[in-house]
A and B are shown apart, each in its own frame.
Chain A
């Protein structure tokens, strides 16, 4: 199994630009999570999907952030416009129906200058 695949692994962008992060969950998993990791706030849940439907987006910081899951094998997290305080590591994770184990991708390391 290839695990959770995220792209890009690293991105440096200028303030005001649009950023799109991508995630391919483990095949057969029906829950997908987006987390953000920063030094100040640690690991925070942004949003999670179950069967492609957003269930809890209360962690999404503001309207500049949006997430979609058009099908079971793909999700995007978009930031528009990006700001320096969005600099963080963004992790995607997935789990199966039983939900006992949640597997993380390698993360997308975002720097907004």
Chain B
């Protein structure tokens, strides 16, 4: 996933908001995704956004997309210990069906 970049680690206090950032390089990206991976588990699709949108909200999750800067973020409100996991950003380019993933951000929620 060298074309999709994420910071490796993020720590937040329980109850605070978490913001996980992602940058991508392909301007033809049509959809951008956030997946969550808990230890020993598969990838859980959290949400996705179409490239002509700039924001999508789903309960505690808010996705912001800045297409000009090719920047995507995932905000988790009222972060809980159960949110501790690795979060992957992924892009779908043009007409391709496969996804290209970032390296993942390890979110640690401190009590």
Interface residues of A (CB under 8 A from B): 31, 33, 42-43, 45, 48, 50, 55-56, 91, 93, 95, 99-107, 109
> Chain B CB within 10 Å — which of A42, A48, A107, A109 has the most?
A42
Report whether A100 and B31 are in contact in the complex, using a CB–CB cutoff of 8 Å.
Answer: yes
A30, chain B: closest CB distance, angstroms = 10
Q: Which residues of B contact A106 (CB under 8 A)?
A: 41-42
Q: How far is the CA of A102 from the CA of B44 in the complex (A)?
A: 10
Nearest CB of chain B from residue A35's CB, rounded to whole Å: 8
Give Cα distance in the complex from A93 to B40, angstroms.
Answer: 17
How many residues on B have C-beta within 8 angstroms of the other chain's C-beta atoms? 21
Contact, CB under 8 Å: A42 / B97: no
Instruction: Determine if A104 and B43 form an interchain contact, defined as CB atoms under 8 angstroms apart.
Output: yes
The minimal Cβ–Cβ distance linking B41 to chain A, given in whole angstroms, is: 6
- Which residues in B have some Cβ–Cβ distance to A below 8 Å? 1, 31, 33, 35, 40-45, 48, 88, 92, 97-104
Nearest A residue to B101, CB-CB: A43
Residues of A close to B103: CB separation below 8 A: 42
**Chain A residues within an 8 Å CB radius of B42:** 91, 104-107
Provide the bound-state CA to CA distance between A99 and B98, in Å: 9
Question: Are B48 and A101 in touch, CB under 8 angstroms?
Answer: yes
- Mostly helix, strand, loop or mixed at chain A's interface? strand
Q: Which residues of A lie under 8 Å from residue B101 when comparing CB positions?
A: 42-43
Q: Which among B1, B45, B102 is the interface contact of A101 at CB below 8 angstroms? A: B45
Q: Is the CB of B97 within 8 A of A31?
A: yes
B97 touches A99 (CB 8 A): yes
- By Cβ-Cβ distance, the 6 closest A-B pairs, closest first, are A43-B101, A104-B43, A106-B42, A104-B42, A42-B103, A99-B97
Given the complex of chains A and B, what is the CA–CA distance between A13 and B48 in angstroms? 37
> By the criterion CB–CB under 8 Å, are A42 and B98 in contact?
no
Give Cα distance in the complex from A97 to B104, angstroms. 27
- Whether A100 contacts B48 in the complex (CB less than 8 A), given A42-B1, A105-B42, A106-B41, comes out as yes
Cβ-closest chain A residue relative to B96: A56
Offer 12 A-B interface pairs, CB within 8 angstroms, sorted by A.
Answer: A42-B102, A42-B104, A45-B100, A50-B97, A100-B31, A101-B48, A102-B33, A102-B45, A102-B99, A104-B42, A104-B43, A107-B42
